[in-house]
């Protein structure tokens, strides 16, 4: 263990009692050690805190209090993290059992490592979403629940911007990308995510914040950024309309064959 890096894992939660136990168990059952587990709860009013307390003796740090949103919660977790490598998994997502071990084994000289994401819908596997950091100047093409970042990157380039409510992860990834950090893609599933989370219900705000982040880090291409924003909105709105019309198969065909990030349906 003396030669193995400490990995900090952060989970942020709010009223997550239907799912958070699976998240916690996925971290505590990792095949890798040492792991420092940190949970930041936003003052839940359901049984989330009760579930956290069940595992308190195996959690390095946890706290429950009201916050100003996900970005602040992420930053609270980062302020407590002492690991060389930091991963973030939200309270309705979960890791594969060997996720951390595979990340550490493949990290090499990278600054950021990420992989594929298994998407679930109504407790059934829906599709696998691939990743491609070379497309980050267009939109969020890195699966945040699979991302592991060296602590030194946060120290050098900053934490999550608390100006953002949805696209804080994209803002960070684009900042690191335009700062020439070394991204490494692992071509296998590391994490699982349920559909219909906060960002899924606030997709238009997410699109607007994505545009704002691009204008911050890519200011010389504002016209291109705006045109891609229009494309981004249509790319989300049209599939939503097709699904409401009962044409979900057409959406799957487009996403599996023509989308920039390929999705492989089960």
> What digits encode the pLDDT tens for the residues 149-194?
999 999 999 999 999 999 999 999 999 999 999 999 999 999 999 9
214 occurs within a structural domain: no
Q: Please, are residues 191 and 118 in contact by the beta-carbon 8 Å criterion?
A: yes
CATH of the domain at 16: 3.90.550.10
Whole-angstrom CA distances from 39 to 16, 90, 109, 252 are: 12, 9, 28, 35
Query: Which residue range is the domain that position 11 belongs to?
Result: 7-195
Instruction: Please report the pLDDT score of residue 154 as a whole number.
Output: 98
Asked if residue 252 belongs to a domain, the reply is no
C-alpha 131/C-alpha 186 separation (Å) is: 9
Nearest-angstrom CA–CA distance, 168 and 243 = 28
In a domain, 161, yes or no: yes
Q: What is the pLDDT of residues 28-66, one digit of tens each?
A: 999 999 999 999 999 999 999 999 999 999 999 999 999
Buried b / exposed e across 78-109, counting CB within 10 Å, b at 16+? bebbebebbbbbbbbbbbbeebbbbbbeebee
Please check whether residue 247 lies inside any domain of the structure: no
**pLDDT per position as a tens digit, 190-248:** 999 998 654 456 888 999 999 999 999 999 999 999 999 998 888 877 666 666 666 55
Q: Is residue 133 part of a domain?
A: yes
* pLDDT tens by residue, 1-15: 468 999 999 999 999
**pLDDT for position 195:** 80
Question: What is the distance between the alpha carbons of residues 69 and 167, in angstroms, rounded to a whole number?
Answer: 12
For residue 226, the SS3 value is helix
Q: Write down the pLDDT at residue 80.
A: 98
Mean pLDDT of the chain: 90
Strand partners, 116: 189
Residue 223 lies in a domain: no
- What Cα–Cα distance (Å) separates residue 240 from each residue in 140, 219, 236, 237, 259? 19, 31, 6, 5, 15
pTM summary value: 0.90
Residue range 73-114, pLDDT digits in tens: 999 999 999 999 999 999 999 999 999 999 999 999 999 999
The answer to whether residue 242 sits within a structural domain is no
Domain count, the chain: 1
pLDDT given for residue 3 in this prediction: 84
Q: For the segment 112-142, what is each residue's pLDDT rounded down to a tens digit?
A: 999 999 999 888 998 999 999 999 999 999 9
In a domain, 41, yes or no: yes
Whole-Å CA distances, 110 to 9, 76, 98, 114, 240: 18, 25, 19, 10, 37
Q: Can you tell me the mean pLDDT for 11-26?
A: 96
């Amino acid at each position: 263990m003396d030669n193995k890096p400490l990995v900090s894992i952060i989970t942020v939660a709010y009223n997550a009692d239907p799912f958070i136990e699976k998240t916690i168990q996925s971290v505590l059952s990792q095949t890798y050690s040492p792991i420092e587990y940190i949970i930041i709860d936003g003052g839940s009013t359901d049984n989330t805190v009760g579930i956290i307390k069940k595992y308190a003796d195996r959690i390095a740090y946890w706290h429950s209090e009201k916050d100003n949103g996900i970005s602040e919660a992420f930053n609270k977790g980062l302020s407590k993290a002492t690991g060389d490598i930091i991963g973030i998994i939200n309270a309705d997502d979960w890791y594969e059992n060997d996720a951390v071990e595979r990340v550490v084994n493949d990290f090499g000289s990278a600054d950021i490592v990420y992989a594929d994401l298994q998407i679930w819908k109504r407790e059934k596997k829906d599709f696998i979403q691939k990743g491609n950091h070379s497309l980050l100047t267009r939109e969020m093409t890195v699966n945040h629940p699979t991302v592991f970042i060296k602590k030194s990157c946060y120290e050098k380039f900053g934490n999550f911007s608390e100006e953002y409510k949805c696209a804080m992860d994209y803002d960070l990834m684009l900042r690191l990308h335009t700062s020439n950090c070394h991204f490494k893609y692992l071509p296998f599933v590391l994490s699982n995510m349920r559909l219909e989370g906060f960002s899924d219900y606030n997709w238009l705000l997410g699109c607007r914040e994505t545009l704002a982040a691009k204008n911050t880090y890519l200011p010389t291409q504002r016209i291109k950024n705006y045109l891609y924003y229009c494309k981004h909105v249509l790319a989300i709105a049209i599939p939503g309309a097709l699904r409401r019309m009962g044409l979900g198969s057409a959406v799957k065909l487009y996403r599996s064959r023509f989308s920039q990030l390929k999705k492989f349906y089960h």
